[in-house]
Amino acid sequence: MVDEKVIAVKVSNDIVTARQAGRELAAELGFSLTDITMISTAISEIARNITSYAGTGEIRIAVADREGRRALVVQAHDQGPGIRDIGRALEDGYSTGRGLGLGLPGAKRLMDRLQVDSAPGSGTLVEMWKWVPSGA
């Protein structure tokens, strides 16, 4: 990804920083206020998963080509315990912690695409994106 913003996520205040970085880039790209809110909320959800399950990680935000189109791409990466069952983790209400199980499924609904690469003991990479509005 080119011209990416990288936000280290270690404490809850970093979630706010990541959310704001996504909000600013989305506004620069001409996303509607509704889309900006959806993007920043999705970033909050996956950043919160980092602090809740992995302890530390990072959020990367950039514009990149996905499926032949320009997209605002968000990557959340950590070296935490990994996700044993990605399919279940994407189900509403499923949680291995104290959460409501809305993080990944909620982010998936808010964005145009969401992919998870994870295995027990090897951390997690969540990549999600929203298509950049035409004309931007």
Taking Cα atoms as reference points, which of 22, 36, 32, 39 lies closest to residue 135?
32
Q: What is the mean pLDDT of residues 79-102?
A: 73
Return the pLDDT at 101. 42
Give the domain ranges of the chain.
Answer: 2-131
Q: Flag whether pLDDT at 94 surpasses 80.
A: no
Q: Which of 33-37, 89-93, 131-135 has the highest mean pLDDT?
A: 33-37
Return the pLDDT at 60. 98
Which class does domain 2-131 fall in? alpha beta
What gap in Å lies between CA 51 and CA 28, rounded to an integer?
Answer: 28
Phi/psi at 6 (5° precision): -120, 125
Q: Flag whether pLDDT at 115 surpasses 80.
A: yes
pTM: 0.91
Return the pLDDT at 84. 87
Q: What is the mean pLDDT of residues 13-25?
A: 97
What gap in Å lies between CA 7 and CA 106, rounded to an integer?
Answer: 21
What gap in Å lies between CA 76 and CA 106, rounded to an integer?
Answer: 15
Q: Flag whether pLDDT at 97 surpasses 80.
A: no
Return the pLDDT at 98. 52
Residue 131: enclosing H or E segment and its boundaries?
Answer: strand 124-131
**DSSP for 62-102, written as a single string:** EEEEETTEEEEEEEEEE-SS--S-HHHHTSTT--SSSS-S-
**For the chain, percent of residues with pLDDT exceeding 70:** 90
